[in-house]
Structure 1
Amino acid sequence: MKFLTFIASLVCVLGYEVLSIYVDWGNPYDMGRLPVNDLTITETIDKSPLHTTAHYPNQSGEYPVVFFIGGMNGYVLSEMYTDVLRMVAAHGFIVFGVDYKYPALTDGENIFKPILKQDLKPYFNEIDFSTVFIEPVSFDAFENVPNPVPALMYGTELSEKGLTKCCLPGTDFRQFYKIWKCPRLALEVADFGHCDILNREFWGVCTHICTKSNETRIDEYHKFIQGAMSSFVISTLQMRQDAITYLSDTTKIPVKLLEHQTDLNCTLEKKSDQLF
C-alpha cells in the first residue's frame, strides 16, 4: 500500500490585508495553545458534497483554512489522521479533512489505478497559497509545475526500507521537489516510517504492509510532524516570517535528518512575495 498525502493550504476568506488574523508566536514544535473542537460533516446528514472532518479552535477569532487530503488519492480517510490534524488546528487553523473517496470502493474503481497513474494537474491548479506534501508517491509527477506556490516536501527513512516499500525512489518527495520551483523545501527524517503519522489505532494495520517503526515513539513523532506542518503554514498563512526558520535552520529541527534541501531565495509574483 502506498499513500499519497498532502495538505493543500489556502486562505479562503481571509486576505493578506486582514490585520486581526490569529498568529501563533510560540515554537511550532510545542503543542498549540488553543482548545480544539471537532465536527464531522456527512453527505446524508448535512447535504455536503463530500464527507469532511473539521477541527477548529474553540475560541472566537479569524483563522486561516487548511484543507487535508488523505493517502492513496483520498482512499485513506481523514479520520485516520485526526490526532495530528487536531494539533495543527491548535496553532490557530481551521483544518478540513476532505474525503474524496467516501465511502471507499463504492464506485467500482480499481484502488491501485490512481496510484499507478495520476493526473496531478487538477490538484496543483487548486492550490492558491501553499502546500505540504507528506510522503507523496506518484508515477505521474514528472512535468514541471508551471506556477508553483511555496511547498514543503517531506519523507521518512523507513518508508523506503524493507520488501514492501511504501515510497519508491524516483516517485517520492524528491521527485516532487525536483518538479517544483522556488520557494521549496525538502526534508527526510531518520528512524521513522510511512505509517507513523496515522492515529495509533490505525498504525498497527498499516505496519502489516509498510516497514514497522518503534511504537513507543509514535507520540514523539506526532508532536514533531505537527510542528513541521505548522511551521510551514504559520509562515505562509499567518504571515509570521520567522516561522520558516523552524524548517530551514536544521539546529531548530528536533529530530535526526537524512536530507535537507532549501530553495527560498526567490520572488513570488503574488502579495506573498515577502513570505520568506
Structure 2
Amino acid sequence: MVKQVVICSQLVSNMSRLSWFVLFVTFLTKLWTTAQAVYVDDGNPFEEGDLDVLTLSISQNDAPMLTKVYYPTRIDTYAVLFFTGGYQGDIPSELYSDVLVRIARHGYVVIGVDYMPMETVQANVRDRTPRLVGDHTQKYMEELQWVTKHLEGRIAKQLNRTGLVPDFSHLGIGCHSAGCDPLVKMTLQHHTFSKAALLLEPFSFNYATPVTFKMPALILGTELSTQPHVCVRPGQGYNHFYDMWKCPRMLMEVKGHGHCDMYNETWYKACQLTHFCKTNPDVDINKYHGFVQGISAAFLTTTLQGRDKLQYITNTTALPVELMEFKIDMNC
C-alpha cells in the first residue's frame, strides 16, 4: 500500500510538472504566434527561398495609397508583412524591392505602401510638403483596412485562380528609417492588429511613448548611418527604439554599412554619388541584402509562422556581416 501511495504521489508530481511545462510552452507559443494555419518555411533563412514571387501594383485610384504587393505564386495561405519606406513613407517601396522579394520567397505576402497624395503639382511629382505624423498614421490605417478587405480578390484576379490567401491574423509591420514613425504610432494606437515589428534602421522625431504591450521586435542599425553625412540622428534612431520597446526585443548594429544599403543597387549608387548618406565604397549590396533577408526571414518565421529560427539571429559568429553591437532581451 505504501509503495502504491509513493508511486501515485510520484505520478501526480510528474503530471504536475508536465502540466506546468505544457502551460509554459503554450504561453511561449501564444507570445510568438497565433494558431498555425499558414505556410511555414523549412529552409535556411539566409538561403534563397523556394517560392516564385509575382508583383501586383495597385494604384492610388483604387486603394488609399500606392501599393506594391510581392507574393508567392504557389496556392497557399501566407503570413503578411506590411512595409513602409523612409521619409515617413515618401520613399517608394519599389526602392526596396530586392529585399522585399527575397523575404516574400520565404512565404510571405509583402505589402509595400507609399504615401503619395493625389494633390501633386503635376503627374508623377511627389508632394514634399511637411505633414503631421498623425495624417500619415490615419492614411496607413485606411490602407491596411483596404488591403485586408480587397487584396485576396486582387491577387486572384491577377493569377486567374482563387485559393491564395493573405492571412491578416498573421501580420507583422516592417519599415525603414522615418517610415517607422507613422507605423509605430499606428501600432501604439491599435497594437492588436500586428504580431511582430521588423524595424530596419528606424528613425523618428516624434517617438516618445514607451511600448507597454508585448510585441516581438527586431531592430537593425548600421555604423555609418550616424556619421556625417548623418541620416540617423543619435538619440532618435535604433538605440532609442530599442530603449522604448518592451521585451521581447533584439537589436543588431552592423559594422561598415550605412543607411542607403537597404535600397536596390541603382538607388544605392545614386545615394553614394550624391553623398546623401555616408556610404562604404567597398560594400557588397547583394551580400548585405542577403543578410537582411536572412535575419528578417528568421525573425518573421519565428513570430508569424510559428517555427523557431532565432538561432540564425543569435548565433552572431555565423552571420555574413560583422556586428558592432548585439543586444537581446527575451527574459519576459
CA distance in 1, matches of 2:46, 2:235: 30
User: Structure 1 102/201 Cα, relative in aligned 2: closer, same or farther at 3 Å?
Assistant: farther
TM score, norm. by length of structure 1:
0.82
Range with greater deviation from structure 2 (102-111 or 177-186): 102-111
Aligned twin of 1:239? 306
Alpha-carbon distance in 1 for matches of 2:267, 2:287: 17
Instruction: Using the TM superposition, give the Cα deviation of residue 62 of structure 1 relative to its aligned residue in structure 2, in angstroms.
Output: 1.1
Corresponding position of 1:125: 189
How far apart in 1 are the matches of 2:119 and 2:245?
Answer: 30
Say yes or no: does 1:179 pair with 2:196. no
Task: Confirm or deny that 1:36 pairs with 2:53.
Answer: yes
Separation of aligned partners in 2, 1:205 and 1:104: 27
Q: Percent identity?
A: 37
The 8 Å contact of residues 116 and 127 in structure 2, kept in 1 or not, is answered as no
TM-score (norm 2): 0.69
Q: CA deviation at 1:253?
A: 2.1
Is the counterpart of residue 153 in structure 1 residue 170 in structure 2?
Answer: no
Instruction: Supply the AA of the counterpart residue of 2:307.
Output: R
- Name 2:232's counterpart in structure 1: 167
Question: SS at the partner of 2:310?
Answer: helix
Which whole-Å CA distance do the structure 1 matches of 2:132 and 2:291 have between them?
Answer: 32
Partner Cα separation in structure 2 for residue 90 and residue 202 of structure 1: 22
Conserved in 2, the CA contact under 8 Å of 1:142 and 1:175? no
One-letter amino acid matched to 2:298: S
Equivalent position of 2:30 in the other structure:
none
Asked which structure has the greater RCO (Cα within 8 Å, sep 6+), the reply is 1
Deviation at 1:112, TM superposition (A): 8.3
Q: 1:214 aligns with which of 281, 287, 295?
A: 281
Q: 1:75–1:102: 8 Å Cα contact kept in structure 2?
A: no
Conserved in 1, the CA contact under 8 Å of 2:260 and 2:268?
yes
For residues 117-166 of structure 1, give each alpha carbon's deviation from its aligned partner in whole angstroms, at most 9, with x where no partner exists: x665324334420001111111222321122411011101111122x211
Instruction: Say what the alpha-carbon RMSD is for the aligned residues.
Output: 2.2
**1:231/1:72 CA distance change after superposition, 3 Å:** same
- CA spacing shift, 1:147–1:77, aligned 2, 3 Å: same
Cα offsets for 1:202-239 (capped at 9, x unmatched): 11222321012236501111111111111111110011
Q: Which residue of 2 aligns with 1:23?
A: 40
Greater fraction of residues in helix: 2
Aligned residues: 245
Q: Does the residue aligned with 1:196 lie in a helix, a strand or coil?
A: helix
Q: Which runs of structure 2 are paired with 1:56-95 in the superposition (5 Å)? A: 56-95=71-110
Q: CA deviation at 1:246?
A: 1.3
Question: Which ranges of structure 1 fall in alignment gaps of 5 or more residues?
Answer: 1-14, 267-276
